[in-house]
Amino acid sequence: MGNFDYIRAKDFDRAWLNFELDLPLETSADGKANPFYITRPGDPIDELIDALLSPFYKPPKFFFSGHRGCGKSTELLHLMANPQIREKYWPINFSIRDEADIIDLDFRDVLLAIGGRMFRDYRKQGGVLPAKLMKDLDSWRGRVEEEVTTVKSGKVAGVEVGAGLEAFFANASMKMRLEPTTRTLIRQVIDKNVTGLIDVINSIAAAVKLKDGRIPLILIDDLDKPSLQEAKSIFQERREIMMQPNCAIVYTVSSALFYSKEFDAIRDQALFLPNVMLHPHRSQDKYVKEGYETLKKFVSVRMDTRLIEPQALMQAITYSGGVFREMARIMRTSIGRARRRNAAQIEKVDVEWAATEIRNEYRRILEKEDMAILKNFHEHNHMEYSDRIRPLLQLLALLEYKNGENWFDVHPVLKSVLYE
């Protein structure tokens, strides 16, 4: 399970580690569930698993989103370990951060990352591709390198074709991330023959399926990080191209795209991962027991609950708004506060301290008009979209829930300042 040991904490030092904010829960090599993984109410990821396991004429493409911190990365890793998925597909999970610059991302970067990772991962796992395909790929590589630079491509006599291709895909990934000038040149070359790159992807996918008996399934994480404009450019303007690879793909996409008119381009293949509901629609004085039990389990698998007072735990769950990352953040800040007090347990005073820290961050960035909008949503919980609320949703100042109909509410730490 990588370099992290998933051990339940018995003291604050270990608990601090276990509530790391960016800790996608890896599965073991034998596919066993991560000990920190918990099932959500309604198990919404089952919808995506079921869709992937359904019959199809062409390998399916899906667009997976959710609020920042809702656990998308963890759910993709969990999906990848599903026995039925592994029986049908040859899965690859990677972050686009490792293959391209997410601050300057283009559809060509994503396609090159798909082809490169599929080739490198298959070879790394001992897969052998047909000799003719390797020669065809090497020919394509040579043409790309020749066009990208006027300098000789740096081919070394006697270099094995496979090694040359691996080096090419690895170097292309590094240059796409770190060298803006080379990135532009590579994009220009790909632009002259996008279908050539699609053919490369499809040839690798077909060879993997023939050799392995399973269809490649590409799970691309962190594609939700680029700006809304870049997301529109990739998934709305270039949608048809992004559907061309002859392998199954789950693209993570920005939640902002779900709150725009361009959402219509991906509507039929879209899945939004909901936050955990802690109170019913328009009934803020009532608790949703299943929601609170889910967040209690989120804490109890990571640390001995004797390290936190029961009332403090309930308060922490309430302040989290049902967002896993916010829950981890509140717990971490509360642990730090309790340690500084030399306390044996996290108490409500520590949780209130954590909530105040988050509240102060919002005070610095939210304007008076934002507060008026949030107050309106808090009072009515209705759902409506506008350009004005999109940044509030991305900041988690406004949260979305699903209970039959979707609805909004404000981040719980903000409720005390709405009427100031």
Spatial separation of the C-alpha atoms in residues 329 and 350, rounded to whole Å: 12
Q: Where are the beta strands (DSSP E) in 27-134?
A: 61-66, 89-95
- pTM here is 0.88
Q: Where are the domains of the chain?
A: 1-44+280-420, 45-273
Residue 163 burial (CB count, 10 A): 11
SS (H, E, C) 13-38: HHHHHHCCCCCCCCCCCCCCCCCCCC
DSSP assigned state of 307: G
Q: Measured in whole angstroms, how far is the alpha carbon of residue 186 from the centre of its chain?
A: 26
Q: Structure tokens of 323?
A: 């967002």
Q: What is the pLDDT along the chain (420 residues), one digit of tens a residue?
A: 456 788 999 999 999 999 998 877 877 656 677 899 998 888 888 999 999 999 998 999 999 988 888 888 889 988 988 999 999 999 999 999 999 998 899 999 999 999 999 999 998 888 888 888 888 888 888 878 777 764 334 443 333 444 577 888 888 888 888 888 888 888 888 888 899 999 999 999 999 999 999 999 999 999 888 888 888 888 888 999 999 999 999 999 888 777 777 777 777 888 888 899 998 887 777 889 999 999 999 999 999 999 999 999 999 999 999 999 999 999 999 999 999 999 999 999 999 999 999 999 999 999 989 998 999 888 887 777 677 788 898 899 999 888 777 888 999 999 988 877
| 18 exposure class (CB count in 10 Å sphere: 0-12, 13-18, 19+) | buried
pLDDT tens profile 124-179: 888 888 888 888 888 888 878 777 764 334 443 333 444 577 888 888 888 888 88
Residue 413 neighbours by CB under 8 Å, 6+ apart: 319, 355, 356, 358, 359, 362
Nearest to 75, CA basis, from 65, 89, 90: 65
Planar angle of CA 363, 367, 369, nearest 5 degrees: 135
Single-letter amino acid code for the residue at 156: V
Burial level of 162, CB count in 10 A (0-12/13-18/19+)? middle
β-strands 398-403, 405-410 pairing: antiparallel
C-alpha to C-alpha distance for 257 and 357, rounded to whole angstroms: 30
Alpha carbons 144 and 192: distance in angstroms, whole number: 10
Identify whether the C-beta of residue 200 lies closer than 8 Å to the C-beta of residue 108: no
Order of strands, sheet of 248-252, starting from the edge strand that comes earlier in the sequence: 89-95, 215-221, 248-252, 61-66, 270-273
Give 265's DSSP letter. Answer: G
- Residue 19 has a pLDDT of 95
Using CA atoms, how far apart are residues 373 and 418, in angstroms rounded to an integer? 10
Give the per-residue pLDDT at 158. 35
Q: What's the chain's Rg over C-alpha atoms?
A: 24
Q: Read off φ and ψ for residue 263, nearest 5 degrees.
A: -55, -25
Tell how far CA 272 is from the center of its chain: 11
Residue-wise pLDDT for 387-404, tens only, equals 778 889 889 999 988 877
In the block, tokens 């610059």 appear at: 101
